[in-house]
Amino acid sequence: MPVNVLMPQMGESITEGTVVRWFKNEGEEIAKDEPLLEISTDKVDAEVPAPASGTLAKILHGPGTTVAVETVIGVIAQSGEAADSGQALETEPVTAPAPPPVVAPRPAPVATPVARVEASQPAAQAPLGEPFGEHAEVLRRRSSPLVRRIAAEHKVDLAVVPGTGIHGRVTKDDILSYVQAGKAAPRAAAPRLAPVPAPSHGTPPISGATLGPSGAFTGEELREPMSVMRQKIAEHMVASRRTSPHVHTVFEADMSRVVALREGGRNVFEAKHGLKLTYTPFFLAAVMEGLKQFPIVNASLDGNEIVYHRHVNIGVAVALPHGLIVPVVKHAEELSLIGLQRAVTDLATRARNKQLKPEDVQGSTFSVTNPGPYGGLYGLAIINQPNVAILSTGGIQRRPVVVTDELGRESIGIRDMVYLALSFDHRLVDGATADQFMAVVKVVLEAGEFDLD
């Protein structure tokens, strides 16, 4: 019998989801647990695995359609059944999407940067260089149509690309990283984007080329609907500005001891723990010391009541090609530096592979964002509701500063400096409290007394 594909329930509070794209077209074969489509909710974006093996007989709701959970969105015909034998009770979508904009035919791959290839417009037939036969079916299970198109354009054998997705699946980030690393030769000389400087800490930067228009201009402008994630980000940011009177304070910290500690111990740390050591856990550890002394900064408001939280749940902003998400390190006060690094690495990896669960992005009591890897000195961030504060960490830069020794003598020295900007809700946190909290963070970072074992 045919098997219905349902819009999954991604959390108790989630009642609907939006179909972002299907990885398979009608008539194509699918293996059980192979990624079938991508959905977006007001909490997370996620890939939905196929509930059974067979042929995708029907797609009842296409990209851009928002439907209630448990709604039938597709039908998989079992082995031996005709592709048109799938029967399902089709339900009406909760919200019908606006008609897609008319876009001129896409230019040839030679003239299109790889980052602008869209999965929502799969090729009608396999492009030149795409694998075929049994080998193709194996690779198809490890990649989406978008990944295969990028691989074909750059003449990449997907079998040699390390996959970080589910079951070793090659993701878009995997193939782009492989191409940008110079391991694959493009078909023809394409315009090169200016390289982004390596990050000094935090998560790797993502090329802004992925945020350009998906189609070609036919006139003076090109209109495209905002993604569900982009719409939710806009709603949350506007709501936060309406809710909290934002005030900002900026501190400068000498990171020289932390830099020396990390540079001297990261190889041993990676060999011992199997993790790359970034600067993010140092910032989180310093933040926790400040929150212990000033729990009001870890609190929230519920009407006229102040809600103090027993635990420190730190939201860490992760930049994605299509937006921003803030997964949460739960009970951070119970974690060592190693535990913090492991938690941040896990959340960031699952965020990029669309494997986060709704509970992974809920319950934060304080947030940290990091524009530093992109070259920013600091950013005045918008508070992540219902938090009352968010810390923005800038890039660590070596520059001359006035140094005072133990005898009070001043001299000019070269130090690794960073700007730290705190945005806080003035309804609950006063300027004096915010500055005292930041002073603690600064002292902890400048002392550099962290345990890497």
pLDDT tens-digit series, residues 326-339: 999 999 999 999 99
Q: Three-state SS for 159?
A: helix
Residue with tokens 């997705």: 165
- Indicate whether 123 and 29 sit together in one domain: no
Peptide bond into 205 cis (omega under 30): no
Q: Give the other-Cβ count within 10 Å of 225's Cβ.
A: 13
pLDDT(98) > 70? no
pLDDT at residue 182, as a whole number: 67
Number of domains the chain is built from: 3
pLDDT at residue 211, as a whole number: 58
pLDDT(122) > 70? no
Q: Which of 19-28, 147-156, 421-430 has the lowest mean pLDDT?
A: 147-156
Q: Give the other-Cβ count within 10 Å of 304's Cβ.
A: 5
* Mean pLDDT across the chain: 79
Active-site option among 157, 430, 435, 453: 430
Q: Is residue 404 part of a domain?
A: yes
41's tokens:
């909710």
In terms of Cα–Cα distance, which of 202, 206, 167 is closest to 347? 202
Q: Is residue 95 part of a domain?
A: no
- Indicate whether 185 and 53 sit together in one domain: no
Q: Which of 90-99, 108-117, 273-282 has the lowest mean pLDDT?
A: 108-117
In terms of Cα–Cα distance, which of 436, 414, 412, 438 is closest to 259? 414
The CATH number assigned to the domain holding 10 equals 2.40.50.100
pLDDT at residue 197, as a whole number: 41
Contact 51, 32 (CB under 8 A): yes
Q: What angle do CA 409, 413, 414 make, to 5 degrees?
A: 160
pLDDT at residue 353, as a whole number: 87
Instruction: Provide the pLDDT confidence category of residue 87 given band limits of 50, 70 and 90.
Output: low
pLDDT(205) > 80? no
Kindly tell me the number of DSSP H helices and DSSP E strands found in the chain: 8, 19
Residues in the chain, overall count: 453
Q: Is residue 299 part of a domain?
A: yes
Active-site option among 84, 135, 426, 435: 426
Whole-number Å distance between alpha carbons of 275 and 111: 39
Whole-number Å distance between alpha carbons of 317 and 328: 9
Q: Is residue 83 part of a domain?
A: no
- Indicate whether 251 and 336 sit together in one domain: yes
Which percentage of the chain shows pLDDT scores above 90?
43
Mean pLDDT of 96-108: 43
pLDDT(166) > 70? no
- Indicate whether 293 and 388 sit together in one domain: yes
Q: Is residue 222 part of a domain?
A: no
Instruction: Provide the pLDDT confidence category of residue 193 given band limits of 50, 70 and 90.
Output: very low
Q: Is residue 274 part of a domain?
A: yes
Q: Which H helix or E strand runs over 271?
A: helix 256-273
Mean pLDDT of 418-443: 97
Look at 255 and 373; give whichever has higher pLDDT. Answer: 255
For the question of residue 254 being annotated catalytic, the response is no
Domain that holds residue 189: 109-211
pLDDT(83) > 90? no
Mean pLDDT of 226-250: 90
Whole-number Å distance between alpha carbons of 308 and 316: 20
Q: What is the model's pTM?
A: 0.62
Instruction: Provide the pLDDT confidence category of residue 433 given band limits of 50, 70 and 90.
Output: very high
For the question of residue 426 being annotated catalytic, the response is yes
pLDDT tens digits for 335-391? 999 999 999 999 999 988 888 888 899 999 999 999 877 788 889 999 999 999 999
pLDDT(318) > 80? yes
- Indicate whether 50 and 189 sit together in one domain: no
Mean pLDDT of 112-140: 37
